[in-house]
């Protein structure tokens, strides 16, 4: 393969792996943003399992953001995979809690499915996507110019960090320094 084809910094910043990492990070941002919207606008506080799913989703986003910021590395994909597995395991645990006949499930639905069901499905999709990105990584020449050089990469990273900070602040307001309630109805630090 002629490696001079991808020699310019513009081409390397927009290579397939870099673009897909930015799109993956934006998908994580969309998931966190929708969950955060339901929490703030619709007053649906997340349960402890929901918070663990968000933590796994944030870990997935950190792995993808490291690829966007520092360049594509297998170790960064390992972080993203660990987050996707964490999200999937916790989401499946919550699915199994509500799988009994007559159980209406916990919380609202989005597109007809509960958030924990969507989290289980999206974590499987993330695992498959990261596996595809790892295969793509072996076909592309090493990138010395990460997607961070592009405005889209910087915007995705900034949006992700903003959503992480917002979720962290709301979790502290909801739970304080202790364990969260199983079925929260108010923010502990804001009072009833």
**Looking at residues 12-19, what average pLDDT do you find?**
64
pLDDT of residue 136: 78
Residue 24: pLDDT band by 50, 70, 90 thresholds? Answer: very high
pLDDT tens digits along 84-118? 999 999 999 999 999 888 888 888 888 889 999 99
**Looking at residues 138-144, what average pLDDT do you find?**
59
Dist. CA 172–CA 34, nearest whole Å = 19
Residue 37: pLDDT band by 50, 70, 90 thresholds? Answer: very high
pTM of the model: 0.83
pLDDT of residue 7: 42
Is residue 78 predicted with pLDDT exceeding 60? yes
Residue 143: pLDDT band by 50, 70, 90 thresholds? Answer: low
pLDDT of residue 158: 93
Is-contact 153 19, C-beta < 8 A? no
Q: Which region among 38-42, 126-130, 132-136, 146-150 has the lowest average model confidence (pLDDT)?
A: 146-150
pLDDT of residue 125: 94
- Helical (H) or strand (E) element with 113: strand 113-114
Dist. CA 111–CA 42, nearest whole Å = 16
**Measured between alpha carbons, how far is residue 20 from residues 72, 169, 186 in Å?**
11, 29, 38
pLDDT of residue 15: 63
pLDDT of residue 100: 86
Mean of all residue pLDDT scores within the chain: 85
């Amino acid at each position: 393969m002629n490696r001079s084809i991808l020699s310019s910094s513009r081409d390397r910043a927009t290579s397939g792996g870099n673009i897909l990492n930015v799109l993956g990070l934006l998908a994580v941002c969309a998931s966190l943003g929708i969950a955060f919207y339901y929490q703030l606008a619709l007053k649906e506080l997340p349960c402890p399992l929901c918070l663990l799913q968000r933590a796994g989703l944030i870990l997935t986003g950190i792995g993808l953001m490291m690829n966007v910021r520092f360049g594509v590395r297998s170790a960064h994909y390992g972080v993203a995979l660990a987050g996707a597995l964490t999200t999937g395991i916790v989401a499946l645990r919550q699915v199994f809690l509500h799988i009994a006949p007559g159980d209406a499930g916990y919380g609202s639905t989005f597109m007809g499915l509960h958030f924990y069901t969507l989290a289980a499905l999206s974590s499987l999709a993330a695992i498959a996507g990261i596996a595809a990105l790892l295969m793509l990584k072996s076909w592309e020449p090493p990138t010395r110019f990460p997607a961070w050089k592009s405005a889209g990469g910087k915007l995705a990273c900034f949006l992700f960090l903003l959503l992480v900070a917002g979720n962290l602040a709301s979790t502290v307001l909801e739970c304080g320094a202790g364990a969260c309630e199983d079925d929260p109805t108010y923010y502990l630090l804001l009072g009833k």
